[in-house]
Structure 1
Amino acid sequence: MRGAPPVQMACGRDARWHAAECGVAALAAACLGYGLSRQLNLTPGLTLTAAAALALAAAVAWWRWVDRRPRSMLVWDGTAWSLDGKPGDVELMADLGRWMLLRFSDHEGARPWWLPMDLRRFGAAAHLCRAVIHAHAGALSPAHAGEMPRSPHG
């Protein structure tokens, strides 16, 4: 049996994913603004204004922050994954046909990176990446080959 061929692709920036992130940030800020306004016994008009202003500010701030994040290069070399040169593991979190959400965890234990992928934008490389992910789902990376898989029941 042959291994999956090498593949690399720039990923991590997706307008729909970022819009959803902005929506969550705006909703959280609106709830905070509403709660604070109610604690201060503001009129309903001021409460709505405060909630809307905080929601708008949070959405704009999040979008500007997200827009500054660089693209990441996800690479499968035929045996292991790396993101921007750091070795790690890739997990498929959602596969919705034309869109996938991956989670990359490096071997140094840093926080995981969430990588949204619109497969229509990446063409053949995205479909090859999907094939590699599905082919190696549940397999341990070479760095963790000596470890026993954890049972979800402890």
Structure 2
Amino acid sequence: MKYLLLPLLFVFYLAPATAQKLPQDAISTYFSEYVDDQNFSAVYVSGKIFQLFRDADLDLDDLDEAEVKAILEVVQDIQGIRVLHTDVNATALWKEAKNRIPTDRYELLFKVRTKDGDNVEAFIQDEKAVISELFLLVGAADNFAMLSFIGRVDLTKLSQLQKALDNE
């Protein structure tokens, strides 16, 4: 019995760390599944690029110091942006995505359906004034797209950005 206890404790110890590595955002599964599919356009922007902008001494003549600071504050915690798009078998992919994505983990921001059958839905995961994911799903007869912003976007920082840009 004691021989089983040690491996069991080890599994329980590693379980939280392993669970954190599983995809938590809506697009991760799709992105990994379709990123190499020639029928899809795929875009991935790493959060590292935002760090590089922050660390670089960029010459941004069109922006004043307050604007640059506000922009960097907003994007500093973005972990990534992912986009998938195709015009092949779009309706079937829309239906598949609607069935596979656990939308109960998200709050629906808006939903648009046109008489032509075009669909656009935007979802968000947030806590108080901090967004952890913004997810957009687009489906039409000839167009399927998924877009996901992952990271921490503080809405109070967005308002500071807006104020800095308005003071121009």
TM-score bracket, shorter-length normalisation: under 0.3
* Bigger share in strand: 2
TM score, norm. by length of structure 1: 0.23
